[in-house]
Amino acid sequence: MADETQQNEVARYAAAVRAELFDLAMPEREALLEDLEDHLAEVLAESELPRASRLGTPEAYAAELRAAYGAGLRTPTRRFPWIHRLVGAAVAQVSGWSSVQAVREYLPELRPAWWVLRAYLVVLVLAVILRGDQDIHPIPNPFTSGGVVEIIAMAVAVVLSIRLGRWASRRKDAESWPLRAGNAVVALGGLIALGSMSTLPGWVGTPHRLGVCPTPSPRVRSATYIRIPGTASRSMAYFCMTRTAGRWWRAQTATDSSRSIQLPLTVSRSQMNIRSARRR
Amino acid sequence: MQSLADSSQLLKGVLDLAVLAVLADHDSYGYDVVRRLRETGLSEVGDASVYGTLRRLYQAGALNSYVVPSDEGPHRKYYGLNERGRQALSESTRTWSALTAALNRLLDGRSSNNGR
């Protein structure tokens, strides 16, 4: 009978056992405790005896596990063991919650989605790096010169990323640290690229050389010059954006080399590189 | 220091062999291994010891494992011997036989000396 109470009981007991073994190095601990919950549930399901007489205290259970697993366990030297104990107890407590366990159960199913996303982010970061920071836009964009290259790069990256993911998940010793570090770098780089791409009002740089926009009304709090590559002479155009009541408005057309510029009516945010100037 | 007569200490050394022998019969899941060991007469074998031993043998590459869903109760992770496990079992069996033979000779000799 795997009813609710018993599930909670198993989760609590397993969390206590995990807390006892928190000093062990990570891969070994995971290998040892991987299906502790299932095993405990089995033991309880097949026995009429109350838990205490069946399993004993979590401390004793953990000690017995440690002894039985034996030589494969190493305890890394910690500089602040009490911090690890504290963190271990907290982690064990949280991972004992049934909701956390439910999420942990379906997380592995999302892995392929991450592999594809990882490929996209790698290409995005590479594109941003290769272009410099002038022109961050979503990729692949078939209307730009590099569009075809981006599409091909995406396809190659997706295939490679999936192969890497499948290879890593077939290995027994979980994921190696270079792969974890690589994932973290890709995720962080991707976040930065996406962030600078999409947040028009949040981008704060040095005021453009045209100076501060004239603000048309006292309600305008700040004004910003937008540079649009490839739309005018010297391959750039300017116009003035103002921010009013949290929204951005085109306030006034600016001039470049004393020449008025016809602006496109719609300019996608991603085509803009923003120089912002706070109103004095 | 624990007493030598503590059978759980003796058991610990041969638990690998015992678990391998149980699994050589047929594939089995954690608690079933515990039960079969106890039915054989190893009544003091601890649940955590068996679970830890299974995980260690699996990590060492001596066992393969697969999950069998069950309608009532939790999923069961079955363990079975692979080629390496069978090899380990036959090697350990030889070592065990040699060891017990030697110990029996030693103990028999002692008891016949005592009887004189």
**pLDDT for A7:** 72
- Stretch among A276-280, B31-35, B88-92 having the lowest mean pLDDT: A276-280
**pLDDT for A159:** 94
Q: Which residues of A184-222 are buried (b: 16+ CB within 10 A; e: fewer)?
A: eebeebbeebbeebeebeebeeebbeeebbebeeeebeb
Task: Label residue B7 by pLDDT band (50, 70, 90).
Answer: low
Of B46, B47, B56, the CB nearest to A69: B56
Task: With CB atoms and an 8 Å threshold, state whether A64 touches B49.
Answer: yes
Task: Label residue A78 by pLDDT band (50, 70, 90).
Answer: low
Closest CA to A241 of A261, A205, A209, A216: A216
Task: With CB atoms and an 8 Å threshold, state whether B56 touches A61.
Answer: no
Average pLDDT value for residue range A162-170: 84
**Residue A156: pLDDT above 90?**
yes
Task: Label residue A132 by pLDDT band (50, 70, 90).
Answer: low
Task: With CB atoms and an 8 Å threshold, state whether A69 touches B55.
Answer: yes
What percentage of residues in chain A have a pLDDT greater than 70? Answer: 53
* Cβ neighbours of B50 in A, within 8 Å: 68
| Residue B29 touches partner A, C-beta closer than 8 Å | yes
Instruction: Please state which CATH class domain B7-115 belongs to.
Output: mainly alpha
- A224 vs B18: which has the higher pLDDT: B18
**pLDDT for A257:** 36
B51/B30 Cα distance (integer angstroms):
6
A249/A235 Cα distance (integer angstroms):
23
Residue-wise pLDDT for A96-126, tens only, equals 677 777 787 778 788 889 899 999 889 888 8
Residue-wise pLDDT for A180-222, tens only, equals 888 889 899 888 877 766 444 333 333 333 344 444 444 444 4
Task: With CB atoms and an 8 Å threshold, state whether B49 touches A67.
Answer: yes
* Cβ neighbours of A1 in B, within 8 Å: 72-73
Residues 6+ apart with CB under 8 A from A71: none
Q: CA–CA distance from B89 to each of B14, B17, B29 (Å)?
A: 11, 6, 18
Q: Which two tokens stand for residue A10?
A: 């198993």
Side-chain half-sphere exposure of B69, counting CA atoms within 13 A: 1
- Stretch among A58-67, A127-136, B53-62 having the lowest mean pLDDT: A127-136
Residue-wise pLDDT for A25-69, tens only, equals 777 788 888 888 888 888 877 766 666 667 788 888 888 888 888
Torsions phi, psi for B3 (to 5 deg): -70, 150
The domain ranges of chain A are: 4-96, 109-198, 222-278
Q: Which residues pair with A237 in a beta bridge?
A: A228
User: What is the per-residue DSSP string for A34-95?
Assistant: TTHHHHHHHHHHT--S-HHHHH--HHHHHHHHHHHHGGG------S-HHHHHHHHHHHHHHH
Task: With CB atoms and an 8 Å threshold, state whether B52 touches A65.
Answer: yes
Sign of CA dihedral B35, B36, B37, B40: positive
**pLDDT for A260:** 35
Matching residue, tokens 């060991």: B37
- B40 vs A209: which has the higher pLDDT: B40
Of B31, B51, B56, the CB nearest to A46: B31
| Amino acid residing at B7 | S
**pLDDT for A207:** 32
Which three-class secondary structure state does DSSP give residue A127? helix
Task: Label residue B74 by pLDDT band (50, 70, 90).
Answer: low
Torsions phi, psi for A265 (to 5 deg): -70, -40
| Chain A, nearest residue to B15 by Cα | A68
Task: With CB atoms and an 8 Å threshold, state whether B47 touches A62.
Answer: no
Sign of CA dihedral A180, A184, A187, A193: negative
**pLDDT for A131:** 67
Q: Which of residues 28-47 of A touch B (CB under 8 A)?
A: 31-32, 34-39, 41-43, 45-46
**What mean pLDDT is reported for chain B?**
83
Report whether A112 contacts A131 (CB < 8 A): no
Task: With CB atoms and an 8 Å threshold, state whether B31 touches A69.
Answer: no
| Chain B, nearest residue to A69 by Cα | B52
Pairing, β A247-253 against β B76-81: unpaired
Matching residue, tokens 């205290």: A57
Of B55, B75, B77, the CB nearest to A31: B55
Task: Label residue B69 by pLDDT band (50, 70, 90).
Answer: confident
B6/A77 Cα distance (integer angstroms):
33
State the Cα torsion A225-A231-A235-A236 to the nearest 10°: -10
A180/A229 Cα distance (integer angstroms):
37
